[in-house]
Chain A
């Protein structure tokens, strides 16, 4: 029987390292994905998450958590990412603190939900199915953009079509996916 977050936190406060490890295992992956979403560097994302946990352990007897450990963890990672970005100006242009604040508030509880969806084979199948059902050109363009992370220009050159067509098709793909996956939204 898995302990609740609250029970785990109580044990961590009493310096129980095993509980600390299980907290780490429970949240590591999704915190990394979350952090990677913000800063786009897998190594650094992992480091940030690691540091957050280290700080929590070091200060376990001083930390007062009122909102629950999970929002607290996401909050810490979010702040650490912002610190990192402020320190390394290079990627600020990709990022808007205010927008992310809004996202964070509206998606605060959703991270967990999305993560549970990502764990499910059935959801994965539905997502792949929805992608498969896109018209051929639309599907190819969406996959090149989303999975191969090509820019619109690269896609337009590769497929010999205009950048505007690429954009229209991506927009179409998003619309269609939203309709087909509406039960998960």
Chain B
């Protein structure tokens, strides 16, 4: 917002007592949200010096401001605490950081249907590494490390520079032995959450579905399963650039970019993405340029100010769904629990659900879906069959029309 605007209306026109209080309230709020001009700060400072009463008022509004901090931000630092502690310890005692190198932690995942052991390829002792013969130009043969999070599992990788990667079920992740020396290139098929160490000289590049997603020191999520139509990039903080295939997009924190893979071939896609009216309203000069880009290639969708938790909470074992269709939910369930899902009644695909799951089993999730929509299910030998229940459907429809 233009500072002059705040200035005019906040400082001037303080005729009545009530008016004045309202102005200062706003001035305090602006100060706390870093929106004040130098002039306003002087006014605020004078006012604060005037009386104890004023300072109490300020402290009251600061508490209100602090209490309404989004739970999002509140929890972010505590999520990152273990990581921060590790970093601190590695600075105190260098041997700790050596031990950490190339270490991969296996995450247990919750499977009730199959108590089968989760297969995770461990780097170092257990990784099956292979030699890339394609790059024979170089004398040094390039070793690549590969990490797989199988369907029904998840895994976590700490890269040599301390950057961290969480892999969602059914994902494949590779990087070269020279990672961190000349480059920080990694390759992803599937979904990963990246927490990248700052290094302006050496960008971290995720190669996926023909795109290069570049980051310098940041946290972001990339969802690019080969079997899915879209590449979805979510930026939690920092900056990220998406390049390749004629694209050059910069993301701002809390933005989500949905790219239709078919758009690479300039084939207009009349699916969810292009018809969506959710295209975020963007303001400001630099943003209007991007808007043109979007209308030019119709299959890039940018959403601003999203709750990024929806896209990233999987790594903390939460699963947040927001107006997600049963069809999409089913394909996530298939990977999460390594099952095959068949939806017998096509109209069910259109049902949308919203909610949060935490460590629920497949059956528990299906039971919850069943409670909220007229459907039933059956599980047999790793195959889940979902079908509509006509009787309940008519009750629901009745309910809707009334």
Q: Are A157 and B38 in contact (CB under 8 A)?
A: no
**Nearest chain B residue, comparing its CB with the CB of A42:** B237
Query: Could you tell me the dominant secondary structure of chain A's interface residues?
Result: helix
Q: Are A46 and B2 in contact (CB under 8 A)?
A: no
State in angstroms the CA–CA spacing of A124 and B92 once bound together: 37
A181: Cβ under 8 A from any B Cβ: yes
Q: Are B34 and A28 in contact (CB under 8 A)?
A: no
State in angstroms the CA–CA spacing of A147 and B218 once bound together: 21
Which residue in A114, A147, A168 is a CB contact (below 8 Å) of B67?
A114
A102: Cβ under 8 A from any B Cβ: yes
Q: Are B81 and A25 in contact (CB under 8 A)?
A: yes
**Which of chain A's residues have a CB closer than 8 A to the CB of B281?**
157-158
A99-B45 CB under 8 A given contacts A118-B67, A181-B67: yes
State in angstroms the CA–CA spacing of A127 and B64 once bound together: 9
Q: Are B81 and A29 in contact (CB under 8 A)?
A: yes
Query: B16-53, CB under 8 A of A: which get 1 and which 0?
Result: 00000011011001011111111001001100110000
Instruction: For chain B, give the interface size range.
Output: 35 or more
Query: A117-146, CB under 8 A of B: which get 1 and which 0?
Result: 110000110010001000000000000011
Q: Are B41 and A178 in contact (CB under 8 A)?
A: no
Q: Are A99 and B67 in contact (CB under 8 A)?
A: no
B160: Cβ under 8 A from any A Cβ: no
A28-B92 CB under 8 A given contacts A99-B41, A127-B67: no
**Nearest chain B residue, comparing its CB with the CB of A126:** B67
**Nearest chain B residue, comparing its CB with the CB of A152:** B1
A170-B34 CB under 8 A given contacts A42-B237, A114-B66, A114-B67: no
**Nearest chain A residue, comparing its CB with the CB of B75:** A29
State in angstroms the CA–CA spacing of A94 and B44 once bound together: 13
State in angstroms the CA–CA spacing of A107 and B81 once bound together: 24
B1, B35, B61, B72 pick with most chain A CB within 10 angstroms? B1
Within the complex, what minimum Cβ distance (angstroms) separates A167 from chain B?
A: 6
Query: Could you tell me the dominant secondary structure of chain B's interface residues?
Result: helix
A84: Cβ under 8 A from any B Cβ: no
Q: Are B67 and A174 in contact (CB under 8 A)?
A: no
Q: Are B34 and A174 in contact (CB under 8 A)?
A: no
B78: Cβ under 8 A from any A Cβ: yes
State in angstroms the CA–CA spacing of A114 and B59 once bound together: 11
Within the complex, what minimum Cβ distance (angstroms) separates A140 from chain B?
A: 14
A184-B92 CB under 8 A given contacts A43-B198, A43-B217: no
B85: Cβ under 8 A from any A Cβ: yes
Stretch at the interface among A2-10, A50-58, A62-70, A73-81: A50-58
Q: Are A110 and B59 in contact (CB under 8 A)?
A: yes
B residues with CB within 8 A of A: 1-2, 5-6, 9-10, 22-23, 25-26, 29, 31-38, 41, 44-45, 48-49, 55, 58-74, 76-78, 80-81, 84-85, 87-89, 91-92, 198, 217-218, 237-238, 281, 283, 305
23 A-B pairs in the complex with CB atoms less than 8 angstroms apart: A24-B85, A32-B77, A33-B69, A33-B77, A36-B77, A46-B84, A50-B84, A50-B91, A54-B88, A99-B44, A102-B49, A117-B67, A118-B66, A118-B74, A127-B68, A145-B33, A146-B70, A147-B68, A148-B305, A153-B5, A157-B281, A158-B281, A163-B5
